[in-house]
Structure 1
């Protein structure tokens, strides 16, 4: 008998709904102090537990060439083509959908704010996903048994829907006595959630700079007017915990598993070292000879001597409780610098320079804990804002700032073309990937909709690493 996959990632929502059905005995046996149904804020917290996976990844860090492998170099050579997105649907998106569709408890915080936070996170997860895969199940997804084979929506449609979610979140938030319970990342602080939603909105808008600058400019200014991050303490930084289930990914790899597999890449060190970048001692350790040395990117055959001769990922970034930076104030400042240069906001080069300088200062403060060295760094001719090369300078500095947030750094590289990078020799036809392939199960789980999605790629191509997503217009 042919084995049938009936969209197990959507069935989970059916299981959750069925588990909420009350039995006759509930009225007699249920202990009110041990609820069997998760509250809205508990579901939000459960979704938040997935946030570090958007950054901490043995794959994402290699596309923008932040890290090189000292051992097992397949990831930096793009060996994996197809990546599974089911866990997003069965995990955080299912949790958030339940927040948006089930009755909520006002004792956990204003219901309006629980809904707003769920919408911000839903938009954020789908933004991350569609930038990796392109078209995805959206409008017909998360429907349980109503639809086991959802269609794929275009990336443009998903962006439009995400902007709408963020609009609704911003307008729905209640700031007076508005904090919620069980919040892992902001401890319930709704004002920070409001800033986060608008900052995500602003960054998404900039992604449209080449494919739809009119819409991008409109959405960018809408978010800016509503209020974005203003200090580093507004950053969305996942607080890793001192327990094996929630510890920093790089701690697990280096310390718990003893794998010294990740070193700073040669392209990154070659850019940072000549500029005496104060972030470099944080990003990487010195080698055994006391120097900062990047490892050749994408080596076909690793060398056992590399571990001692190159700079491994910095010790402070791989502690058990090292935070995972996801959306940051400096990132928003770089976006505003570029927007000013593009003419999306007023002030021209003067505004662009002010935001560019502040972005670098803020980035240095985020990574090092102070602005020491920032003035000297900015005073160098190669770093000083130059109207003739501003877009390139902003892109390079943003690339440095987004260190370890590989998928975001990769997205900005695809959009801007900077930094100038060379693919791993002989890998993927000597091409850096432009997207990730769909999970192979989709070819049998959802055949017709899968085929329609592939045929709808805006610039053509196959379901591989080389087709371009909608906004990746050159």
Structure 2
């Protein structure tokens, strides 16, 4: 079997700006010899995979990312929160969205779909976003030699530091390339290049902050560059996947709860016990009340033998599992939390004064994003545990960011690994396994790409084996 990250996908969905299929009415076209997909069609196809980041790229499987930062507890199948799965398959990401975006950069040549420079810039931003996700999950991964097809079925693995440095350059190229004019088939921003430019720089900013413990000088330089180039300025700039009221494009959580009638996911006791004493305005969105009218989180990491009475606990909030509920990927509030931390670290001017301003604004925009209102904000933010305190500011920023990132499990997990906050305890029923620090490579790599697989493990920055305990480069002990 050849590694899937080398096999170019031939069948690509052609999408309109609303995410629906476009059909060519020309009956003279040979359906058995389809024309090559255009750059914007390839980009749109890659966009359709964005929600899968939260569901481990398999909409028929139980997602994993939401369990690591303890957002969700399983009511029926609890293995995910007890870290029973070690190896995860990155082939679908390479063979799907990453291959599409790599090809889009190569084939962009049709000005009728919008300025070619913009098509390439958008593809580069999305490629950087997907690779950021991949390397933060697995660490050392194929990068420079990937996507070579028959020319190279056994690519080497590149260090995460090298990948980060190259992604910074990719985002710089995208930022500098934008010209006047929109592109077609964009199901995220409707072709708005101003928003894409802000997104690219916001991703750059968030990536830079990942370097806070491993290379603060480089991180600060990249952070300031991204900030100067222009980041998100309001919630309307959010990188959001808007699901549709139809079966093909519906939200994963609607599929699970609504279509399949699976009450498998409850809000964790960790989350409810943190939010409820503070009367957090976001809790009614995140969680439904139980049968008695109370918010009761489910203990995290229950053994599989325990039978959960659904009526006694708070399931995932109904507002988050409608057919067209949006998936938030990169948000304005995230950028504000990053600016607050950067000010506190001294990466940008302003010290505690600016850190407080950005922290307060981040909480405000988070509440507005999730609840569509700022009711209760003043009381909430005035409480001692929430009000900015320069002595414990980094912890406060991290904890509020953790709450804000609810349901974006892999991002919440990455920030927990980097900052150490909130203080989480491993599942108590998991044979003393620690909370994972990375995910193991697909088992197929041992046979498909054995020498490079072994070399990658030997190059782990802090040692370890191909399991859940080795650390990625920026997760410095």
By the TM > 0.5 criterion, same fold?
A: yes
Runs of 4+, deviation exceeding 4 Å: 28-32
User: 2:112 aligned with 1:107, yes or no?
Assistant: yes
User: 2:433 aligned with 1:430, yes or no?
Assistant: yes
Tell me the residue number matched to 1:153. Answer: 158
State how 1:32-43 maps to structure 2 within 5 Å.
36-43=35-42
Residue aligned with 1:125, SS: helix
Contact 2:4 2:92 in 1 (8 A): no
- Distance in 1, Cα, partners of 2:185 & 2:34: 15
Contact 2:72 2:266 in 1 (8 A): yes
- Distance in 1, Cα, partners of 2:356 & 2:431: 38
Structure 1 residues 457 and 434 mapped into 2: Cα distance closer, same or farther (>3 Å)? Answer: same
Residue aligned with 1:459, SS: coil
Aligned with residue 190 of structure 2, among 187, 190, 197: 187
- Distance in 1, Cα, partners of 2:109 & 2:45: 16
Aligned with residue 459 of structure 2, among 456, 459, 464: 456
Aligned with residue 280 of structure 1, among 271, 274, 283: 283
Contact 1:12 1:144 in 2 (8 A): yes
Contact 1:70 1:302 in 2 (8 A): no
1:80-121 CA-to-partner distances (Å, cap 9, x unmatched) read 100000001110111111111124211000000000000000
Aligned with residue 61 of structure 1, among 58, 66, 76: 66
Aligned with residue 98 of structure 2, among 83, 87, 93: 93
Residue aligned with 1:263, SS: strand
- Distance in 1, Cα, partners of 2:366 & 2:406: 11
- Distance in 2, Cα, partners of 1:215 & 1:375: 37
State how 1:279-358 maps to structure 2 within 5 Å.
279-301=282-304, 303-358=306-361
Q: Give the deviation of 1:346 after TM superposition.
A: 0.3
Residue aligned with 1:225, SS: helix
1:21-54 CA-to-partner distances (Å, cap 9, x unmatched) read xxxxxxx96479x962211111100000000011
Contact 1:287 1:309 in 2 (8 A): yes
- Distance in 2, Cα, partners of 1:251 & 1:303: 25
Aligned with residue 11 of structure 1, among 7, 11, 34: 7
1:134-187 CA-to-partner distances (Å, cap 9, x unmatched) read 01100000111111100000000110111011000000011x2x2110001101
Q: Give the deviation of 1:381 after TM superposition.
A: 1.0
Contact 1:48 1:92 in 2 (8 A): yes
Q: Give the deviation of 1:220 after TM superposition.
A: 0.2
Contact 1:56 1:404 in 2 (8 A): no
Residue aligned with 1:260, SS: coil
Structure 1 residues 145 and 378 mapped into 2: Cα distance closer, same or farther (>3 Å)? Answer: same
State how 1:28-427 maps to structure 2 within 5 Å.
30=29, 36-57=35-56, 58-174=63-179, 176=180, 178-301=181-304, 303-427=306-430
Tell me the residue number matched to 1:22. Answer: none
* Structure 1: runs of 5 or more not aligned: 18-27
Contact 2:81 2:301 in 1 (8 A): yes
Structure 1 residues 98 and 86 mapped into 2: Cα distance closer, same or farther (>3 Å)? Answer: same
Residue aligned with 2:73, SS: strand
- Distance in 2, Cα, partners of 1:137 & 1:394: 33
- Distance in 2, Cα, partners of 1:29 & 1:279: 55
Residue aligned with 1:281, SS: helix
Tell me the residue number matched to 2:17. Answer: none
Residue aligned with 2:77, SS: coil
Tell me the residue number matched to 2:16. Answer: none
Residue aligned with 2:7, SS: helix
Residue aligned with 2:166, SS: helix
